[in-house]
Amino acid sequence: ELKVEQNPLFLSMQEGKNYTIYCNYSTTSDRLYWYRQDPGKSLESLFVLLSNGAVKQEGRLMASLDTKARLSTLHITAAVHDLSATYFCAVDMYSGGGADGLTFGKGTHLIIQP
Amino acid sequence: DAGVTQSPTHLIKTRGQQVTLRCSPISGHKSVSWYQQVLGQGPQFIFQYYEKEERGRGNFPDRFSARQFPNYSSELNVNALLLGDSALYLCASSLWVWDREAQYFGPGTRLLVL
């Protein structure tokens, strides 16, 4: 059974600081996704990482994937209040003719304070 | 272009009742997936449909069923509702079942079972 673990689950940080969210998964996969969810809202796609060593950046967020270590990171640079949200990583275990959907971590609840 | 749409947005039911949730994928997308998100948790995979066929199923009881129509829209049915079925139900669409790009999520249907 695929397990996806995020840490930390809760993070309070000040504006202007840097921090990293970690996502570990238990089974080989080369497809990892990061989503953002605001309170009461749906999921917004942030990054799709499809190969070992993949790195993607959008504004103050940068995501990377190490398939050998089964680890992805989401790095926040010079945080601003607007980045306050819950961030989920998800791993895709699609295999051959069957679809197993995305397996999500529990999410990292991020609060950025002035 | 319109994104994924879901209806209704909110729903209140009582234990033992049945509920039907609806989803229309992004135009051109042929695969629809359903997820259940309990408060404070990451989404859990329920079903994936592609070309009107079930291609994947998560660990949910037989009370949960779904179907996909020729226009690629989908319905999720839940029978004999339990209090624990209270959750945000998310629909996601993608081009194909083996699509390596992100699944795009709809706004969700918030179900409360009393």
- Whats the size of chain A, residue-wise? 114
Report the residue from A42, A48, A97 with minimal CB separation from B101: A48
**Cα atoms in the Cβ-side hemisphere of radius 13 Å centred on A10:** 2
Per-residue pLDDT of chain B (114 residues; tens, 9 = 90+): 679 999 999 999 999 999 999 999 999 899 999 999 999 899 999 999 988 899 889 999 999 999 999 999 999 999 999 999 999 999 999 887 666 667 899 999 999 999
Among A15-29, A95-109, B97-111, the minimum mean pLDDT is found in A95-109
Chain A contact set for B102 (CB, 8 A): 33, 45, 48
Residue B80 token pair: 């004999």
Q: Cβ neighbours of residue A95 under 8 Å, at least 6 residues apart?
A: none
**Cα atoms in the Cβ-side hemisphere of radius 13 Å centred on B79:** 6
Asked if residue A8 has a cis previous peptide bond (ω within 30° of 0), the answer is yes
Note the pLDDT of residue A99.
59
Q: Average pLDDT of A92-105?
A: 70
Chain A contact set for B97 (CB, 8 A): 94, 99
Note the pLDDT of residue A97.
46
* Dist CA A22 CA A59 (whole Å): 19
Q: Average pLDDT of A4-29?
A: 93
Among B31, B37, B50, B96, the strongest candidate for a mutation testing the A interface, having the largest count of A CBs within 10 A, is B37
Note the pLDDT of residue A94.
60
Contact A90 B41 (CB under 8 A): no
Contact A100 B33 (CB under 8 A): no
